[in-house]
Amino acid sequence: MIGLLTPWPLLVAGTLSAVTVVLHLLSVRRPPVLSLPTARFIAPRDVRAVSRSARPTDLLLLLLRVLALLLAGTALSGPRWIPASRPLGHVIVADPSWRADSARLTLLAGVATSDDPPVRIGWVRGDTAAGTGSTSGMRGELGAALPVAWREAALLLAAYPATDSIALQVFAPSRTASVDGWDAWRAAWPGRVRMHARMDSGAAARDSTRTIALRVTGATGDDHVVASLALHGASLGVRRGDAGTVPDPTVRTVLLQRGASDGARRGADAPDAAPRVTIVWPVDGRPGGWQARDRGDTAPALVASGRVLAGSWGRSATWNPRSGPGTPIAWWNDGTPAVVERGDDSRCTREVGVLVPPGGDALLAPSARALLAALLAPCGAWRGAPVPARVLADSTGAAVPSAAVRAALPIRSSVTPAWLPAALLGAALALLLLEWLVRRTGAAAADRTGTANGAAPGVRNAA
Amino acid sequence: MSTRHGALLDALRGVRWPARRAVGAALPGAHRSRQRGTSGEFTEYRLYRQGDDPRQLDWKLLARSDRAFVRLTDDRALVTTWLVVDGSASMAFPAPRAAPHGAPDGEHATKWDVACALAVGLGAVAHASGDPVGALVLASGGTRRFPPRTRRGTVHELTRVLNESAPGGTQPLAPALETLPVNCRTVVVSDLLGDLDATLAWGARTVAAGGMVEVVHVVAREELALPDRASLARDPETPSIEHIIDRGGHARYREAFDRFRAEAARRWRAAGAGYHEVVTGESLPRAVRAIVAGGAPGAGVPGNGAPGAGP
C-alpha cells in the first residue's frame, strides 16, 4: 500500500475535486440547438442559460479532471511504499541497575537481540562514578527514561525505516526519588509503555524500629551535636546506650562518631560495633575521603528531610564522588551534598560534612530536628520510594506508530521509491492532456449538427 | 394511389380550377380562350365587316332585321399546369418524427409533407379538368422533371415522384423556373426562404409575358410559435446563421417574420401572381379549394397563422 508523508496536499486535491464535481452540476452550458429555417428573423442578442442537472454532465471530462487532481495531490504528499508486513520495532530503556541482570531483562522484554524485529536498548545514563547508589538517572527522576526513549526510537527508525510502529518497555530501578517528571512527560509518548521494576528489598519500608539506641564515640562533654540529640532525641525515639545483647528488631542501633575524620572512619569498622546506621560526623567537618576546602566558609541554609534549615552553617570539606558510591541525603543551599549515605539498605554509614562551630546554636533550633531525623532514619530511606503501582500498571494503549515519532522528531526519511512522485505527476499531466483532447473533440462534434445536405447534381426526369 | 393522399383526393372530387385569365392559343380545353371563334358557345352578334366569313352570317337575323350580323362564340383551351415543389432543407421543418413521410395534415407534418399534399391536390384538380399536369421537384437528389401529361395515371405518377424525393440541399428555384414555358400555369409551392428576389423577378416576367403564376407559401406552425426554452436557433440551409432565442425575443421575431410574409405577399401580388399562405396543420382540402378559387383562407393576412380564418 502507499503511505503519505504529508497528507495535506492530498486533502487540498480532494477538496478541489469536490468543487469540480459541483461545477459540473452547475455549469453554464450552450443552449440546445434548434434547427429553425426562419432563424434569420431572430434579432441577435446574448442569452445565458444556467442549467442545473441532477447528474453531472460530461462524465468523461469530470472523471479525467478528478483523477488528475487526485494524482497530483498524491504526488505532492510524499508517497512511499509500505510493504504488506507491518514490522514492529522495540525500544527498551533500562536503569543501569539492570546491567548485571541483562539476561533477565531480555527475557522479560520478550525480544531477541537480533535485527528481526529491530530492537534498541538505551541505558539511562546517571553519574558514572555514582553507580547504583546515585540518585541521578531514573533513580532520581523516573521520567528520565522518556527522553532516552525518544532518542532510541529516532535511532531505530533511522536504521529501520520500514518499521511501522514502536513498542516501548521501561526497566525501572527498585526505587526512585521522584515521578513528577514521568507524570509530566508521559503524555508526550503517544502509546503504551510497558513497565518493569526491580524488586525492592524493602528494608527501609519494612523497618519497624521504634527506638534508636544511640552510641556516641569521640565526643567531648560539651559537644553540641550530642546536646542537640539530647534536646530532640526524645521526640525521635533516641536513647543513649547500646541496644543490648539480644537483637531487637524494634531497636535500631546508631553509632555517632564525633572523633577526628580518620579515626571516625576507622571507628565504623570496629569489630565490636554492630550499628545499622553509623553517623560519621567529625568535629572538624571533614569526613574521611572528602576534599578539604582551601578555606572554610559558611552556608546560610541546609536542606534535609524536605526542610530548610536556616542558620550559619560551616563547611570545610566537599564530598568527592570519586571516593565511592554515595547517596546525598542533605544538601547545602548551593546544591552540593552536605550529608552522604554509603552502604545498602541493611547497614550504612552517613558522612556529615557540616561544621558546627563551638558555641553555635544552629542545632538547638527546632528546625534542626529535620537534620537529625535524616541522620537517624533507616538505611536507604532517602533513596526514594518504590515505583508507584499506577506507573507500573500503565500498560494501556497500543504501540506508537512510526509516523508519530517521525512527526515529533526531525528524522530524515526518504520517499520510497524515489520515482513514485514523478510517475504520479506524469500520470496527472497525461490525464490533463487527454482531458484537453476530449474537450476539443466534444466541442467539434457539437458544432457538426443539422441535416445531411448534398448539392443537386442536376435535373433528372421522372420516368 | 397512395393512401396518404386518398382522403384529400376524395375531398377534391369535382373541384374545378378555372384559369385566372383567358389563355392564348392552345388545344381545346376547359379554359376561356383569348381567341374568338365560330364554334363553341354563342356569346354575341357583331355587325358584318368586310372580310368576315359569309358563312358566319346569321341569315335569320338578316331576314328579320335586314341587317347583316355575324355570330360570335368563345373558344375554350387547355392550360398546362406546372407544379414546382421546393424541396430545400428548410422544407424539412419541423424535424420529421417517426416516419419520413408523415401524415400531411397531421399534428407534426413538415412543410414538405404539406407541400407534397398541395401539389398532389392541385395536380388532381387540374388533371380532372383535362389539363396537362407536369412537375418540377427540387429536392436533395437534385431536380426531377415530370413532363406534363393528361393520361390516366398522371396523378399517381406525380405522387410516386414526390414520395421518392426527400427534402434537402439549397437549390435555388429561379434557374429551374426559367426552364418552364411561359404560356402555362405555374404553381410554386415553397416556403420562400430561398432566392426570393430572383423568383419574384421570374414571376413578374412570366406574368408580363402572359403566363399565370400561383405562389403557395407554406409556413410551419412551429415557425410562428417558438418554444419557450432558450435555444440556439440555426438555419439548416445556412449554418452560419445562428442566434440565441428565448421567450424574451419571441415578440421581435414574430414581428420580423410577419413583416417578411406581408412583404412577400405584397410583392407577389404586385407582380401579378396569385399568393396563398398555407400553415401546416390546416385542412388541406380547404386550402386547395381556396387556391383554386383564387384566395386561401386567411391567406395574405400577416399575423394570422390560425387555420380556418379568412373568407
Average pLDDT, chain A: 75
Q: What is the pLDDT of residue B224?
A: 92
Give the separation between CA A389 and CA A407, rounded to whole angstroms: 31
Give the separation between CA A365 and CA A310, rounded to whole angstroms: 9
Q: Do B249 and A37 touch (CB under 8 A)?
A: no
Contact status, residue A149 vs residue A340, Cβ threshold 8 Å:
no
Q: What is the pLDDT of residue B104?
A: 65
**Interface residue of B112, B228, B245, B280 to substitute, partner A, most A CBs within 10 Å:** B245
Q: pLDDT grade, residue A226 (50/70/90)?
A: confident
Q: What is the pLDDT of residues A400-435, one digit of tens each?
A: 777 777 666 654 455 467 788 888 899 999 999 999
- Can the peptide bond before residue B297 be classed as cis, meaning omega within 30 degrees of 0? no
Chain B residues with CB-CB distance to A39 below 8 A: 233-235, 241-243, 245
Q: What is the pLDDT of residue A115?
A: 57
Give the separation between CA A427 and CA A64, rounded to whole angstroms: 11
Handedness of CA B124, B125, B131, B136 (dihedral sign): negative
Residue A60: count of CB within 10 angstroms of its CB:
12
Chain B residues with CB-CB distance to A458 below 8 A: 142-143
Contact status, residue B127 vs residue B119, Cβ threshold 8 Å:
no
In the 8-state DSSP scheme, what is residue B90? G
Q: Is B82 helix (H, G, I), strand (E, B) or coil?
A: strand
- Closest by CA to B297, choosing from B135, B307, B204, is B307
Give the separation between CA A153 and CA A155, rounded to whole angstroms: 5
- What is the crossing angle of helices B196-208 and B250-270, to 10°? 20
Q: What is the pLDDT of residue A210?
A: 66
Give the separation between CA A313 and CA A134, rounded to whole angstroms: 25
- Closest by CA to B300, choosing from B233, B214, B179, B226, is B214
Give the separation between CA A157 and CA A172, rounded to whole angstroms: 24
Q: What is the pLDDT of residue A114?
A: 54
State the average pLDDT over residues A124-137.
Answer: 53
Chain A residues with CB-CB distance to B242 below 8 A: 33, 39
Grid cell locating A379: 538505611
pLDDT of A162 above 90: no
Q: What is the pLDDT of residue A121?
A: 83
In the 8-state DSSP scheme, what is residue A137? G
Q: Do A36 and B135 touch (CB under 8 A)?
A: no
Q: pLDDT grade, residue A396 (50/70/90)?
A: low
State the average pLDDT over residues A346-369.
Answer: 82
Q: What is the pLDDT of residue A83?
A: 59
Tell me whether strands A211-217 and A251-257 are parallel, antiparallel or unpaired: parallel
Q: Do A451 and B191 touch (CB under 8 A)?
A: no
Question: What Rg value do the Cα atoms of chain A yield, rounded?
Answer: 41
State the average pLDDT over residues A373-383.
Answer: 76
Q: Is A57 helix (H, G, I), strand (E, B) or coil?
A: coil
A443 min Cα distance to partner chain B (Å): 15
If one compares A460 and B137, the residue with the highest pLDDT of the two is: B137
Q: pLDDT grade, residue A52 (50/70/90)?
A: low
Contact status, residue A163 vs residue A91, Cβ threshold 8 Å:
no
pLDDT per residue, tens digit, chain B (311 aa), is: 456 788 899 999 888 888 877 666 556 666 666 655 555 667 678 888 888 888 878 888 889 888 888 877 666 677 899 999 999 999 998 876 544 455 666 667 899 999 999 999 999 999 998 899 999 999 998 899 989 999 889 999 999 999 999 999 898 999 999 999 988 999 999 999 999 999 999 999 999 998 999 999 999 999 998 888 888 888 988 888 888 888 888 899 999 999 999 999 999 999 999 999 999 999 999 999 999 988 434 433 344 444 443 34
Burial of A259 (0-12, 13-18, 19+ CB in 10 A): middle
Q: What is the pLDDT of residues A306-323, one digit of tens each?
A: 778 888 888 889 988 888
Contact status, residue B142 vs residue A460, Cβ threshold 8 Å:
yes
DSSP string, A157-192: HHH-TT--EEEEEEEE-SEES--HHHHHHGGGS-S-
Q: What is the pLDDT of residue A453?
A: 34
Please tell me which residue of chain B has the smallest CA distance to A48: B230
Q: pLDDT grade, residue A6 (50/70/90)?
A: confident
Handedness of CA B282, B114, B266, B186 (dihedral sign): negative
Q: What is the pLDDT of residue A126?
A: 60
Q: What is the pLDDT of residue A370?
A: 82
If one compares A101 and B105, the residue with the highest pLDDT of the two is: A101
Expressed in percent and rounded to 5, the helix, strand and coil fractions of chain A are 35, 25, 40
**Interface residue of A30, A38, A448 to substitute, partner B, most B CBs within 10 Å:** A38
State the average pLDDT over residues A87-105.
Answer: 81
Residues in chain B: 311
Chain B residues with CB-CB distance to A450 below 8 A: 89, 234, 236, 239
- Closest by CA to A169, choosing from A139, A187, A189, is A189
Q: What is the pLDDT of residue B22?
A: 67
How far lies A243's CA from each of A239, A310, A344, A388, in Å? 9, 33, 21, 35
Chain A residues with CB-CB distance to B95 below 8 A: 35
- A·B CB contacts under 8 A: 146
Q: pLDDT grade, residue A12 (50/70/90)?
A: very high
Instruction: Measure the CA dihedral B155/B159/B160/B166, to 10°.
Output: 150
If one compares A388 and A28, the residue with the highest pLDDT of the two is: A388
Burial of B92 (0-12, 13-18, 19+ CB in 10 A): buried
Tell me whether strands B185-190 and B81-86 are parallel, antiparallel or unpaired: parallel
Q: Do A42 and B90 touch (CB under 8 A)?
A: no
Q: Do A37 and B171 touch (CB under 8 A)?
A: no
Q: Which of B234, B246, B249 sits opposite A36 (nearest CB)?
A: B234
Q: Do A36 and B237 touch (CB under 8 A)?
A: no
Please tell me which residue of chain B has the smallest CA distance to A456: B142
